[in-house]
Amino acid sequence: QVQLVESGGGLVQAGGSLRLSCAASGRTFSTDFMGWFRQAPGKERELCASINWSGGAAYYADSVKGRFTVSRDNAKNTVYLQMNSLKSEDTAVYYCAAREVASGEYDYWGPGTQVTVSS
């Protein structure tokens, strides 16, 4: 099992920045990618960004490309999401997830952290 806990959410004005953190514990060696997902009210959950533990290869959704940066600190088993130039449409609950190597699925999820961007 892998345990994930997000932190860093909050209320910010449009144009502002926030940094989310995701601390991972447990069998993290069984995972390869860490993803940041978000879900706004009435919308489907979407993958914003992901990064792998080993090589640092990163993926970004078009909606956040150029504004969000995902990074990891392997020594701390922590993944970050730096969010700049925030827009009202970025308002959502943000979830950290870990992809299990064996299944190829994001099997482990954190409880989520609310990000609210006021216009």
Coil, helix or strand for 51? strand
Residue 57: per-residue pLDDT: 87
Residue 28 dihedral angles phi and psi, to the nearest 5°? -65, -20
Check whether 53 has a pLDDT greater than 90: no
User: In Å, how far are 81, 99, 108 from 30, measured between CA atoms?
Assistant: 22, 8, 11
58 contacts 36 by C-beta, under 8 angstroms: no
pLDDT tens, residue by residue, 73-111: 999 999 999 999 999 999 999 999 999 999 999 999 999
